[in-house]
Amino acid sequence: MNGYNEVLERAGNPLVTPACLSSDREAKSTRIWMVDDNATFRSLLGNLLKDEADFACERQFSSPPAVLEALSRETAPDIILLDIEMGEHNGLDAIRPIKALAPETHVLMLTTFSGPGSRERAFREGASDFMLKTWPIPKIAGHMRQAMEFGSVAGLMTAFLSGSKPVEKTVAPKTAEITVRTSRAEGWLAHLRGLLKLSPS
C-alpha cells in the first residue's frame, strides 16, 4: 500500500487521534514538523509516523509563512517535511528562508507530484531529500533517517544511485541487477560513513 493511500484509508478510523501532538518520547527522538495545506493528510501521516519509535511529530502547519513565523520564535526541529503545491504558496520558495532561520534543520520535500525541474531546484535551494506521498511509510521513514545521518548529501546520493546504471550488463534476470545496485549503494553508504567519522566535529 503506498503512503498517500495508506494515510487516506485511515481517515475514517475512529481510533486515530489528532496527529503531530507532542508525546512522551525519549530525548533522542527525531523532532518533526510538517508543512502541508491538507489538514487530513498532515494529521494522519503524523499518526503513522508516531508508530516509528524514533520519530516525534510535534507540530503541523498549513503554509510556509506559518512555519517561518514559528521558526523565528521557537527551537527548530530536526526535520521539516515540506509540501510543494499549497494554494498560493510554493514550498520550493520556502526552502531558503527556512534554512536561513534553521540551518541545522533538514528540509525534506514530501509532495504528490514531481513537476519538471522540481527535484533539481529543491536540492539547489538546500533540501536534503525529495520524496513522494505515494511512497510507503517505511520508505519515507528510511529517507528521513538517512537525512539525519548524511545531511544534505542524502538526497543527492539517493538520486545518483537510483539513476545509475548497473556496473555491468547481466543476462540473468533482475536479481543480478538488484545485487549490483545494492552493492553499489552499500559501498557509497560505507564510504560516506567513513568520511563523516574522519570529518572534524
Structure confidence by residue, pLDDT tens digits, 55-64: 999 999 999 9
> Quick one: pLDDT at residue 193?
52
> Quick one: pLDDT at residue 53?
75
> Quick one: pLDDT at residue 14?
37
11 lies in the same domain as 47:
yes
Q: Is residue 175 pLDDT above 50, yes or no?
A: no
Sequential DSSP letters for 59-70: EEESSHHHHHHH
Query: Is 44 among the domain residues?
Result: yes
147 lies in the same domain as 170:
no
Q: Please tell me the chain's helix, strand, coil percentages from 3-state DSSP, rounded to the nearest 5.
A: 50, 15, 35
**Is 147:110 a contact under the CB 8 Å cutoff?**
no
- Global pTM? 0.67
Q: Is residue 192 pLDDT above 60, yes or no?
A: no
Q: Is residue 84 pLDDT above 70, yes or no?
A: yes
The pLDDT-based confidence of 2 (bands split at 50, 70, 90) is low
Structure confidence by residue, pLDDT tens digits, 8-52: 454 444 333 344 444 444 457 899 999 999 999 999 898 888 888
Sign (positive or negative) of CA dihedral 31, 99, 140, 190: negative
Sheet strands side by side (includes 106-111): 55-61, 30-35, 79-82, 106-111, 129-132
> Residue 165 carries which DSSP code?
P
Helix extents (H) in 29-152: 39-50, 64-71, 91-101, 118-125, 137-150
Which residue would you say has higher pLDDT here, 169 or 181?
181
Domain count, the chain: 2
Q: What are phi and psi of 18, to 5 degrees?
A: -55, 135
**What's the whole-number mean pLDDT along residues 178-195?**
48
182 lies in the same domain as 103:
no
Query: Is 159 among the domain residues?
Result: no
Which residue would you say has higher pLDDT here, 134 or 159?
134
187 lies in the same domain as 107:
no
> Quick one: pLDDT at residue 157?
59
110 lies in the same domain as 168:
no
Structure confidence by residue, pLDDT tens digits, 91-136: 999 999 999 999 999 999 999 987 779 999 999 999 999 999 999 9
Query: Is 156 among the domain residues?
Result: no
95 lies in the same domain as 170:
no
Query: Is 157 among the domain residues?
Result: no
CB-count burial class (<10 Å; 0-12, 13-18, 19+) for 34: buried
Domain hosting 41: range is: 3-151
74 lies in the same domain as 143:
yes
Return the CATH number at 134.
3.40.50.2300
**What's the whole-number mean pLDDT along residues 170-192?**
46
